[in-house]
Amino acid sequence: MSPSIKSLLSYASSLLLPQIPISNPPGNDVPSSSSSSYYAPLSGAPACPIDGPMSCHNSTAPSDSCCFVYPGGRMLLTQFWDTHTTHGGGEEDWTLHGLWPDLCDGTYDQFCHMTPSYRNVTEILQNYGQEELLGFMNRYWLANYGPNSRLWEHEFNKHGTCINTLAPSCYGEGHKPGQEVVDYFARAAALFKMLDTFYALEKAGITPHGRKHYPLADVQKALEGYSGGKVVLRCIPGGRGSHHNDVLHEAWYVYFVKGSLQTGQFVPAQNLGKEGDAGNCAPWVRYLPKRSRSTTMGEEDL
């Protein structure tokens, strides 16, 4: 089958963002856009050896904490299948939920303050000349309620602050507030571009349909074969008052990292960890077509 529109465009658009190698108290601000200066994503990140240990696979304490993701070394790139078409989006669009640093056993921390929290993500990205990244996020990283920036701030403050290699100290004396925000969102967006969930399912003959049910095992096999690693699937009830989670709603791609989040190699995980299987879908699931809607729709984990 032919690739989706997103898949056809991803190569050209990904050139605008970093490529992903694969196999203080809340409320900090940065200077306003009136004093903006361009920051090339990941350029301020620490230089790390290419033969460093992989997260969650070390037997001894790492010698350089800025080149080893810890303790949240199990990285999840999470996506939504929204129930409505999004403003400016299409019927084939899965959307980006977040990039989460789960602990090695599959549990997770949150709001860790390893890096400062911020309440002005949009201004930070504008300040550092990231208009292309902002345009991408306004298409694929969408909030269910309120402005998209509310979701972005929530995702960084809840999850991004738990990624130790984003700490200001890892950027050295040249660090400027907010550079770690650029790196977090640029890295998440670039990884998302490499994971075209719609295309992966379409290749396996799994396409949106109002009544058809698909074996959950087939959906899992299609996505894990496509990504090369484990994928957690999440579902929601299919009707009002229903408690039967049979409507496909989320896909979480699981990785380990060799090196820092900013410049390290993302390695598809071959296990979910003791507590990492958060899947909740019924054995047979529906993959519903999107319904048209003029307002922006998405989802968040608030």
Q: What's the pLDDT tens digit per position in 181-209?
A: 999 999 999 999 999 999 999 999 999 99
pLDDT the model gives residue 132 = 97
- 219 found inside a domain: yes
Identify the band that residue 89 occupies on the pLDDT scale cut at 50, 70 and 90: low
pTM across the whole model: 0.86
Distance from C-alpha of 202 to C-alpha of 81, rounded to nearest angstrom: 14
Least confident interval from 59-63, 101-105, 111-115:
59-63
pLDDT the model gives residue 85 = 74
- 21 found inside a domain: yes
- 291 found inside a domain: no
- 301 found inside a domain: no
CATH of the domain at 118: 3.90.730.10
pLDDT the model gives residue 10 = 46
pLDDT tens for 203-246 read 999 999 999 999 999 999 999 999 999 999 999 998 776 778 99
- 35 found inside a domain: no
Identify the band that residue 88 occupies on the pLDDT scale cut at 50, 70 and 90: low
Residues annotated as catalytic (active site), given as ranges: 97, 155, 159
- 266 found inside a domain: yes
Identify the band that residue 145 occupies on the pLDDT scale cut at 50, 70 and 90: confident
Q: Which of 25-29, 36-40, 297-301 has the highest mean pLDDT?
A: 36-40
Least confident interval from 12-21, 72-81, 253-262:
12-21
Could you tell me the two tokens for 271?
């296990």
- 224 found inside a domain: yes
Number of domains in the chain: 1
Q: Which of 9-13, 60-64, 255-259, 297-301 has the highest mean pLDDT?
A: 255-259
> What percent of the chain stands above pLDDT 90?
68
- Tell me the residue range of the domain where 118 lies: 5-30+43-286
pLDDT the model gives residue 263 = 93
Q: Is the pLDDT reported for residue 176 higher than 50?
A: yes
pLDDT the model gives residue 5 = 44
Q: Is the pLDDT reported for residue 35 higher than 90?
A: no
pLDDT the model gives residue 293 = 61
Q: Which residue has the higher pLDDT, 111 or 84?
A: 111
Identify the band that residue 296 occupies on the pLDDT scale cut at 50, 70 and 90: very low
- 302 found inside a domain: no
Q: Is the pLDDT reported for residue 1 higher than 70?
A: no
pLDDT the model gives residue 27 = 52
Identify the band that residue 287 occupies on the pLDDT scale cut at 50, 70 and 90: very high
pLDDT the model gives residue 87 = 65
Q: Which residue has the higher pLDDT, 144 or 118?
A: 118
